[in-house]
Amino acid sequence: GRRCLRNNTPLYSCLTPKIYLSSFQVVSTWSNPIPGWIDNLYGPTGIVCGAQAGIIRSVLADPDVKADIVPVDFVANALVCAPWDARQRYQQDNSSMPVYNYVSSKDNPITWSDFSIKSQMAQLRNPSSQGLWHCFVLLTRHRTIYCLHNLLLHYLFGYIFDTCAWISGNKFRLLPIYDKMGKVVSALEPFSTKEWIFDNHNVQHMWNQLSPFEQNQFPFNIESLNWDDYLDKYVQGLLVHHLNDQMDLETRKKAKKRYKR
């Protein structure tokens, strides 16, 4: 199979249209395979999960900058449809490789401030039963202020917690987590403190070319996404898949009671 592919690719590559699909902050699913599913803690997901666990207190981000956050299943559906759309273009005018920028900032923008507020409200509706502290996150665009917050709200708290854990014989440590979160925040900085402008005309055109049946089978219209509903599923998914929490009624009651204490 591999030899056949290797030998025939040069022969047919000139007849096969190429595509380039890019997206920025890809986070958990909206509905497929299950709502709120994600298998990593990269980017905004790690920060939201840390805040949900009562660990993260401050983030380096400009509140007014648009956060190009998109659900991974929407990106996957767009990726499935893109070769078909590119083929249609190629047959019509033999066009060059189309670029599909899959972003939310054009059709359904949300700023980092709105994302922070809405995700914290979702966390209040779905608190963790194992959180170390109440959920609140401070956003600042100034690195100096962030470093001060990081020292006082993260590392000072981490040193105190780890000392108490060491005395009591508990092996859980916060400082390594804060080191990892610092790397996540640094990696996110170019996108959380600066505004990026993209043209998603090709994505819009591709969506409009699909039939109603195809749109239902491969939904990726970001304009239809309700951020409040989505972030509820996002937070619930983090509880189940990363914080080992449960969504049954009894566990939710205990978690809310514990959070109010």
Residue 110 has pLDDT above 90, yes or no: yes
Question: Under a CB-based contact definition with an 8 Å cutoff, are residues 106 and 72 in contact?
Answer: no
Work out the angle at residue 62's Cα, subtended by the Cα atoms of residues 61 and 65, and round it to the nearest 5 degrees: 115
Q: How many CA atoms lie within 13 A of 216 on its CB side?
A: 3
For the entire predicted model, the pTM comes to 0.86
Q: How confident is the model at residue 61 (pLDDT cuts 50, 70, 90)?
A: very high
pLDDT tens digit string along 117-137?
A: 999 999 888 888 877 778 889
If we measure between CA atoms, which residue out of 108, 133, 137, 106 comes closest to residue 120? 137
Residue 258 has what pLDDT?
A: 76
- Percent of the chain at pLDDT > 90 equals 51
Average pLDDT of the chain is: 88
Residue 12 has what pLDDT?
A: 59
pLDDT tens digit string along 8-42?
A: 666 655 556 677 888 888 999 999 889 999 988 88
- Residue 134 to residues 114, 154, 159, 242, Cα–Cα distance (Å): 19, 14, 18, 18
Which of 27-30's residues contact partners 24+ apart within 8 Å by CB, and which partners? 27/69, 27/70, 27/71, 27/72, 27/234, 28/71, 28/72, 28/233, 28/234, 28/237, 28/238, 29/71, 29/72, 29/73, 29/237, 30/71, 30/73, 30/74, 30/219, 30/225, 30/230, 30/233
The domains of the chain are located at 11-260
pLDDT tens digit string along 145-160?
A: 999 999 999 999 999 9
Residue 75 has what pLDDT?
A: 95
pLDDT tens digit string along 175-210?
A: 998 999 889 899 899 999 998 888 999 999 999 999
Residue 144 has what pLDDT?
A: 95
Residue 3 has what pLDDT?
A: 72
Residue 16 has what pLDDT?
A: 65
